[in-house]
Every structure is written in structure tokens, then in C-alpha cells.
A and B are shown apart, each in its own frame.
Chain A
Amino acid sequence: MALRVMRGMVGLLLLAQVSVANAVLSIEIIGAGEHQIPVAIVPFGGDSKLAQAINDVVVGDLQRSGLFRLVDPTGKSPHELAEVSYPDWQVRGADALAIGKVGLLNNGRIEASFRLLDVVKQAQLVGQSVSANDDQVRAVGHRISDLIYEKLTGDKGVFSTRIAYVNRLEKKHYSLIVADSDGYNEQNVLEQSEPIMSPAWSPDGSHLAYVSFETGHAVVYVQSLYTRQRMMLADFSGSNSAPAWSPDGKQLAIVLTRDGSSQIYLIQPDGGGLRRITFSGAIDTEPNFSPDGQSLLFTSDRGGSPQIYSMPVAGGPEQRMTFGDGNNFSPRYNPDGKGFVFTHFVNGKFQIATQDFQTGQVGILTAGGWEKNPSFAPNGKLILFASEARDRGILATVSSDGRVQQHMFTQSGDAREPVWGPHQ
């Protein structure tokens, strides 16, 4: 575990060399989870500035998840196990208590030692040290949030993951941005005067594939987030677009119009092995691999309107998945493989919806407006999507049960096509 934490930090350190964009944002939370776990987070002892920064991140993370009710710790500030008086916290209604200390080591690194305690059973749930470079205090906070989330919900936390999105500033200024899962720590991967579309994370989080119009038409590129090196993956005549990685990272599905209308092809990350896999003559686009790598979901208008279809990657029968009123776009598998999320367009409104493979049941998760491009967090518990508020394109998340929504306002411009990155 410690090793994995370290490796994550190395990744963050390298990413930090990428140019840093302006800071975000304001965050608004709407709604609350059904069963919230009451937890008290005591601001850490030690370096008070670091402690405050970590506390802000942890409190923000836990609140946004919608799964926790934060119990006010005012008046009590234990930092060591020996200083904890469980009855104090039982009286306040806390089920769990987080305490710890943080300091700057001689080598310039931040080290936080932290414990999560079960107030009811009066026992320690986890105790761990987390360290990082001194400019990575938010990463320390996110890692602690993940540990709390995992211990208290049983699901893997996603606070340390990253997201990517396109920001459009006026008509001639486009950026491809990678940020922490809470929208902070934005870094520009690419900035130019021509449109950028469809960022897609490699399964190990090391690369982004995306579409850029910098040469005058849509071309697919693959870029390393560590070295910033990039290569043209597909530059055929017409449009090259909609990259999606297979879960093993050994191939991508892309969409080309070189042979007529938009059709789906497979290609290796080095540009070799190009192979066409749909032959509809309609628009087939937005491929997305199933978690087991065996199937694809995609959007097609072969039936007369854009709907979601599925097909085996190896070829075989294609099956329509969505029916009923309206158009449907942008399918993405739930990481558990049991369903998918998509954009539902009906009565002039876009909204985020999910569908279960077994029952076919559709759940509408958002109220409807300009809500597009959903993608699951790697734990399947949250969905990131593009929304709109105050006449701007913004990032938003909704819990997979639809109960809690979060709006993240970037500093300026329109945020578009966000996509949640993998665990690292």
C-alpha cells in the first residue's frame, strides 16, 4: 500500500512539470445521500498551515461524495490515540473519527500520519503515514480522503484520481486540461486556437488520446502526460475521431470517415493494425469498450435516429440497446459491467441517464438541460458530465443513485467533454 502511495506521488510530481493553468473555481453541492455516515474530522496537529490545507481537502472530498455527514469537532482536538475520549464523540453522534499530525520533514517532504477510529466499537480502523513533496499537499488530503472513504463505505475511493476536459475560452482559444477529481490543480496539456475534442485516458492514466483540428480537420493524437510527447495516431482524409482505449491498452477504437460515413475501426497505439469493424453506411461513433474488453457500446443512427448499440469487439451481431422517445448518445460502461451511462435527448433537453443490461431499466439522473458527455468514476459511484449554469459550460458530478449533484465552476470559459481518469 505504502508503495502504491509512493508511486502515485511520483506520477503527480511528473505531472507538476506540465504548465499550471489558473486555479479553479467554486463548488456547489446539491442534495444529500440517503444514508450518510456521521464522521468527525479533527484538524491535524503539527504544522498548522499544512493541517488546515489538508483539512479543507478532506472535508471537501467527503462532503461532495454525499455519503458522509460531517460532525463538528469544535472544542476537542485529539491528535494521538491516547488523547481520544470516545464518549466525547459518541455524544456528538459521530460513528467515526479521524485524527492525525502533519509536518515538513528535513528533506522538504510533507508527512502526515493519520488514524481513523470507530467511535462505536472504540477501535482503530486504519492508521497510516502519507508523504509527498511540499507542493503536493492536496494530494496528501485526497489520499487520506480515499482511505476514510474505503474504510467506511467498502468501495475504493476516487479522490486521488484525475479528470480531463476541454476548456473553450471565446471562439479561438481551446485548452485540453487535466485536473484533480475535485477540479483543482488544473494543468494545460495542450492549448491552441483550433478546437480540441474527445479526450480519452489510457487505462494506466499515462496517456491521453484526443482529437485536434490544428491541421484543419479532425485528427486523433496520443500524448504522454509525463513527457508531453505526442504522436498522430490517425490522419486519414475526412474526420478522424472518437478514440477509446481497450482495457488492456493494446488497442484503441477510433472513428474514421475515409471510406464514407463515420465507421468504427480498431488501431494499435503505435498506429499499426488498422481494421474496420462496422459496415453500416450510417453514422457509427462514440465506441466504448466493456470492462472485460469483449464488447463495444456505440452510437449509431442506422435505425433512423441516434441510439445506443452494442457489438462484440471480435465482430458479430450488433444489438440496439435504447428504445423509446428521444435520441441517445455517448454510452459508457459502468466499471462493474452491469450497465451503462449515456446522454438522453428528449423534448429539447439533454440529461444524463443510466440503463441496466439485465433489466433494461432506465434511470434518469439529472433534471434535464444541457447535460452531456457522462463518464463513470473508476469506482462506479459517481458520474462526471458536462453541464451548464450561469450561461457557462461547467463540470458536474452526480452520484450513481442520482441523489447528490456537484457543480464545479472553472475560472473562465466553457468546460466541455469531461472524462474521468483511472485509478493509478
Chain B
Amino acid sequence: MKKLVAGIVLVNLLAACASEKPKESAAAASAPPPAATAPAPQAAPAPVVMVDPLNDPASILAKRSVYFPFDVSAVQEDDKPVVLAHAKYLSEHPDRKVRVEGNCDERGSNEYNLGLGQRRADSVKQMLVLGGAKASQIETVSYGEEKPVCTEHNEACWKQNRRSDIKYQ
């Protein structure tokens, strides 16, 4: 059972990687490709109600990452609106699931950072739940310092790595 779940998560992960940019995510991808023969650019615009705010680059939901100070795992004031917006979205879309991935800079041991990254993921999860999401909609995972987006030894780099990513499945 567990293996099956892991397999599904992996597949989803790959899908998520392929659609990193918000505007390219699930709903957009599932829209039928424009037929080569169909000109009709002046057709009526799609009704607003059909737009998933998750796919709107102007929406606060386009922000999927929250950042942390060194050795801190509490969500910072600046990022609370982002997390709470995702909480609201999840509460309104009970069929949607997210995976929250915690990351750290390299200033700690690999194992300590794995624990810290888990805390960073868990603190985002807690705020999502406080904001109305169900715990069952949220999976948390830590990559510690193992998957840095930036590998130089300086604060400009470290601050990018001290991060939790909210990834829709």
C-alpha cells in the first residue's frame, strides 16, 4: 500500500516538475489544444467563472514559496497572506492536494537540516490547516540541504534555499 502511494506521489512529482510555472498547471494543460483550422480569435472571451485562480499569474496564489531566516521554521509575517490564501483555496477545493517541501541552507549538518526542513514544511502545513485546509489535503516532506537551488556560500544564495514550497499535486 505504502509503495503504491509513493509511486503515485512520484508520478505526480514528475508532472509537477514538468509544469513548474503556475500558468501551465493542471487546468491549462487539460484544455484542448487549439485546432489548426480554427481561426476564431475574436470569439467571446472565456467566462470569468471558469478561470481557476490558481492559474492566474496575477493572483497571490501564484506565489508558492515562503522564506525563512537562518535556523527558523516559523512562517514570517510577510508570507502569512500567501499561506492563508492557499489555505482558503484548499478549503474551497477539498479535492485538491498539496505537497509542502521544506528546504534549508547548508549551514548545519545534513541531518539537522533534514529535521529543520521538516519543521519548515510542518509549520506551513499548520498554518494551512489553521486557515481552513484539511490536514488530509497536505503532505509534508523535507529535503534538508540536499536540493539547493543555489550552491554558493553566501547569503544571497542561502536565503533562496531557506524555503518551503507549496506544490499542487
Contact = CB atoms under 8 A, between A and B. Distances in A.
A285 B118 CA distance: 13
A261 B115 contact: yes
B98 interface: no
A191 interface: no
Contact of A306 (B10, B110, B112): B112
A262 B9 contact: no
A264 to B, nearest CB: 11
Contacts of B118: 238-239, 257, 261-262
A283 B2 contact: no
Contacts of B127: none
A215 B10 contact: yes
Given A216-B10, A238-B118, A198 B108 contact: no
Contacts of A285: 109, 111-112, 114-115
B146 A286 contact: no
A46 B71 CA distance: 61
A211 B141 CA distance: 14
Interface string B1-26: 01100110110010000000000000
A329 B2 contact: no
Interface string B131-156: 00000000111111011100001000
A194 to B, nearest CB: 9
B107 interface: yes
A65 interface: no
Interface string A321-332: 000000101100
A99 interface: no
Contacts of A198: 110-111
B116 interface: yes
Contacts of B122: 257, 260-261
A195 B139 CA distance: 19
B2 A197 contact: no
Contact of A239 (B10, B13, B139, B142): B142
A235 B2 contact: yes
Interface in A235-254: 235, 237-239, 241-242
A47 B125 CA distance: 68
A260 B6 CA distance: 20
Interface residues of B, number: 31
A101 interface: no
Nearest to A218: B114
Contact of A330 (B109, B144, B146, B147): B109
A330 B114 CA distance: 13
A299 B109 contact: yes
A84 to B, nearest CB: 52
Contact of B111 (A215, A242, A305): A242
Nearest to B13: A216
A262 B110 contact: no
Contacts of A373: 109-110
A204 B159 CA distance: 42
B107 A217 contact: no
A417 interface: yes
Contacts of B7: 215
A198 B146 CA distance: 11
A409 interface: no
A197 B114 contact: yes
B163 interface: no
A286 B6 contact: no
Contacts of B112: 283, 285-286, 299, 301, 306, 329
B119 interface: yes
Q: Residue among B71, B111, B119 with the most chain A CB within 10 A? A: B111
Interface in B46-68: none
A224 to B, nearest CB: 21
A360 to B, nearest CB: 22
Contact of B119 (A235, A255, A283): A283
Given A195-B146, A197-B146, A283-B119, A216 B9 contact: yes
A263 to B, nearest CB: 9
Interface in A163-215: 171, 195, 197-198, 211, 213, 215
9 contacts: A213-B143, A238-B140, A255-B111, A260-B122, A261-B119, A299-B112, A330-B111, A372-B109, A373-B110
Q: Nearest 3 pairs between A and B by C-beta?
A: A262-B115, A329-B109, A195-B146
